[in-house]
Amino acid sequence: MAIPLSWYLILSAALFSIGLFGVLARRNAIAILLGVELMLNAVNINLVAFWRYLDPTQMTGQVFAIIVFAVAAAEVAVGLALVISVYRNRKTVVADELDMMKW
Residues within window 52-91 making contact with another protein, judged by CB under 8 A: 52-54, 56-57, 59-60, 62-63, 65-67, 69-78, 80-85, 87-88, 91
What is the smallest separation between the CB atom of 79 and another protein, expressed in angstroms? 9
Closest by Cα among 4, 19, 18 to 49: 4
What is the smallest separation between the CB atom of 103 and another protein, expressed in angstroms? 20
Give, to the nearest 10 degrees, the angle between helix 29-54 and helix 60-90: 180
Report which secondary-structure segment, H or E, holds 14.
helix 5-25
Q: Does 45 bind another protein (CB under 8 A)?
A: yes
